[in-house]
Structure 1
Amino acid sequence: MRTGMCSSSYQRWNLSSKSGPGVISENRIDGALVCICDLPIDKLSDKVIVGRPLKSSLREIRMQLNVRRTIVTVEDRNEAEGRKAAAPVRKVAVVAIVENPLAGKGYVDDLKPLIAASVDLGAFIAARAVEALGPHKAQSYGKAGIVGLAGYQEHANALLTTAFANPIRDAIGGGDAWISSMTKVAAPGTMIDVPMNHKDDVYVRSHYDGMSVVVPDGPQPDEVAIIFCLASGGRLNARVGGMTHDEVEARKAKASA
């Protein structure tokens, strides 16, 4: 028997009742919904965050992340190659610099507490990204993480799984495509190129893009910088063919009709 703590996308994955896959009962601990699953641990995807036995408190399952700083960058691109854009493309990057609870501890096998904690971090970043995007709708996205020198690359990856990303998908009206990602360990002030792709179909070539992000004085050795980027369009003057954003939108409209 395993227990799973359901993320904020609990309803999204239809796990809110005993009819969910592998769910045989549910309980509340400290106000949060915890489900008991009869699936073996290797069959549980990140749709259910695997936790400790039900008798453990939620605080043991889900560590609290300390966000030390938040940086929001907004770029409006109006012209490229000497040509004015029909509509400007807005790109935003939200960086949350969090204290790394595993810094300096060497190899830690169980990263599930970090994955669980990333759900709230995703919601935190989502609110700021949508606010920065303003009146524009997101068409593409990307994510990245820089781990300070006292941590390991896998610490950032644990904070960037689907558990982290689904609150952002919900905030921008969905996202069917996987999210391009880049992580590394680096000294403070190191630049990272955040890859981006269309949020609903990775085969939209015009939206293969990115943002270069630098965290001034960070991350410190005991920190992780978690980055999420949104854009309201693809590259200006994109002209290499392939599927278009409008075609993806038409396909979605037809499927939902």
Structure 2
Amino acid sequence: MKAKIRKIVVNIEETHREIGRDISPATRKAVAVAVIENPFAGVYQEDLTALMEIGAELGGLLGEKCVAALGIKPADAESYGKSAMVGENGELEHAAALLHPKLGAPLRSAVEKGAALVPSSKKMGSPGQVLDVPLGHKDAAYVRSHFDGIEVCLNDAPRANEIMVAVAVTDSGRPLPRVGGLGHSDAKGEDGLR
């Protein structure tokens, strides 16, 4: 593995009750976070290929960890998202290099298919800061019930020369969705939109 990983953390969030109503089955989200060394901390680097390659490694690794944490088959994943937080000696472009060119394809393999774009966010930060991971339906971006997100916060990351990279996967949409739009069961997943 090219990534120098300090730690990996996996969290699961289950919602069993919302506004006095039972949610059955519970809605579930998993988020897997890798804290890695930033190979370009403190220096300007024109060629960010090394981070792009690390992104490819992490997309599959973190996606598989989310699927395993949920205890589902890859095909049963319904939404996904990705995010990165760069420590103070890095730059926002380092997060972009990790997330965009190559992380998506291995994540799609981990959840089977994934016709829709993977929602993403990137930010600069310091230890203990919250990283938001946006979520969207993996095959049809117009499925509104799956517009969501999950937060992750590590008390010791990212350090100045590190990057936190997060991938989230769900087995359902939001609890009690009722804002209309295309439903999960109606999604065809052919064009990434519907």
Q: Distance in 1 between matches of 2:64 and 2:147?
A: 24
Say which of 54, 65, 68 aligns to 1:128.
Answer: 65
Structure 1 residues 212, 180: CA separation in 2 closer, same or farther (over 3 Å shift)? same
- RMSD of the TM alignment (CA)? 1.6
Distance apart, 1:167 and its partner CA: 1.1
Say which of 46, 49, 53 aligns to 1:112.
Answer: 49
Distance apart, 1:238 and its partner CA: 0.7
Q: Distance in 2 between matches of 1:93 and 1:235?
A: 15
Letter in 2 for 1:109: E
Q: TM-score, normalised by structure 1?
A: 0.70
Q: Are 1:187 and 2:129 matched, yes or no?
A: no
- SS of 2:180's equivalent in the other structure is coil
Q: Are 1:88 and 2:26 matched, yes or no?
A: yes
1:74 aligned residue: 12
- SS of 1:121's equivalent in the other structure is helix
Letter in 2 for 1:89: T
Deviations 1:48-107 (A, max 9, x none): xxxxxxxxxxxxxxx9220110000011111111111131111000000000000011x2
> Given that residues 63 and 169 in structure 2 are in contact (C-alpha distance below 8 angstroms), is that contact kept between their aligned partners in structure 1?
no
Letter in 2 for 1:74: I
Distance apart, 1:162 and its partner CA: 4.4
Say which of 199, 215, 223 aligns to 2:162.
Answer: 223
Moved over 2 A (4+): none
Letter in 1 for 2:46: D
Instruction: Give the alignment of 1:103-252 within 5 angstroms.
Output: 103-105=41-43, 107-135=44-72, 137-248=76-187, 251=188
Which 10-residue stretch deviates more, 112-121 or 230-239? Answer: 112-121
- SS of 2:85's equivalent in the other structure is strand
Q: TM-score, normalised by structure 2?
A: 0.92
Counting matched residue pairs gives 188
1:49 aligned residue: none
Percent of residue pairs bearing the same amino acid type? 38
Instruction: Mark the runs of 5 or more structure 2 residues left unpaired by the alignment.
Output: none
Relative contact order, higher structure (CA 8 A, sep 6+): 2
Q: Distance in 2 between matches of 1:135 and 1:125?
A: 15
Q: Distance in 1 between matches of 2:171 and 2:124?
A: 29
Instruction: Mark the runs of 5 or more structure 1 residues left unpaired by the alignment.
Output: 1-62
Distance apart, 1:252 and its partner CA: 5.1
